[in-house]
């Protein structure tokens, strides 16, 4: 029987929700790994809405659960209904929605607050010693909730202009966590906490390299499950 994996989304679209390529990559690799997947998102209003064509704010309101349903092809549940006892692992794709809707990192950095249902979900899986997978910016969730854990968001220096958000690694270290430098096609496994992370679009890399890196994260999560 395949592993039961919950995937938590943060909306639909890189600038105000889940990064679509990352969410799709996670789902493809889980499918290839034979996992049984259910998708969740918090039933809350988005922090903002961004016109993805213009890259500018849009004067409208959208709901994270409703927008995430686009990626889930309508098959999605409120995150408040997620029970860790019914799953073997949980995975959080990235995108600005993680830093805006799942927590307030986009505004408050390391002083951010984490959505109550996101926090309780992370705590529940961690307490049950079940693996947690995170990619792109979502490793900051683990850094905020689990002081002392090990994560990667890529490199801690902007090597060849490929890691423009390298300062995130410093913020993670300031939270008392250990940042592990990894390339885009790699993931890091914090064996003690069963946390698996990969940088994805935190690196300016070809899409297939990001896809492959997410694949290593998913594979490691399924191994730990």
Positions marked catalytic: 136
Query: What are the b/e assignments for 6-36, b being 16+ CB within 10 Å?
Result: bbbbbbbbbbbbbbebbbebbbebbeebebe
Q: Give the separation between CA 47 and CA 44, rounded to whole angstroms.
A: 9
Q: Give the separation between CA 154 and CA 180, rounded to whole angstroms.
A: 8
Which neighbouring-strand residues pair with 198?
A: 135
Ranges assigned E (strand) in the chain? 4-8, 36-41, 50-51, 56-57, 77-78, 89-92, 132-135, 150-151, 178-179, 188-190, 195-198
Q: Using alpha carbons only, what angle is made at residue 203 by residues 101 and 133, rounded to the nearest 5 degrees?
A: 55
Distances 4 to 1, 34, 37, 49, 93 between C-alpha atoms, Å: 9, 9, 6, 32, 17
Q: Give the separation between CA 29 and CA 195, rounded to whole angstroms.
A: 17
User: What count of residues does the chain have?
Assistant: 225
């Amino acid at each position: 029987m395949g592993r039961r994996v919950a995937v938590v989304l943060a909306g639909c679209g890189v600038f105000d929700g889940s990064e679509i390529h990352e969410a799709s990559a996670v789902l493809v690799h889980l499918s290839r790994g034979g996992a049984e997947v259910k998708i969740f998102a918090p039933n809350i209003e988005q922090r903002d809405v961004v016109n993805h064509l213009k890259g500018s704010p849009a004067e409208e309101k959208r709901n994270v659960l409703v927008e995430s349903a686009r990626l889930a092809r309508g098959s999605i549940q409120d995150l408040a209904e997620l029970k860790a006892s019914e799953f073997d692992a949980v995975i959080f794709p990235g995108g600005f929605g993680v830093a805006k809707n799942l927590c307030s990192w986009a505004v408050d950095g390391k002083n951010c607050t984490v959505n109550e249902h996101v926090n309780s979900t992370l705590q529940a899986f961690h307490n049950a010693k079940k693996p947690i997978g995170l990619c792109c910016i979502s490793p900051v969730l683990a850094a905020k909730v689990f002081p002392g854990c090990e994560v990667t968001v890529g490199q801690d220096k902007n090597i060849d202009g490929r890691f423009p958000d390298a300062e995130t690694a410093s913020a993670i270290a300031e939270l008392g966590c250990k940042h592990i430098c990894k390339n885009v096609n790699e993931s890091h496994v914090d064996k003690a906490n069963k946390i698996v992370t990969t940088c994805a679009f935190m690196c300016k890399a070809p899409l297939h390299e990001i896809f492959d890196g997410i694949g290593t994260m998913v594979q490691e999560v399924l191994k730990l499950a």
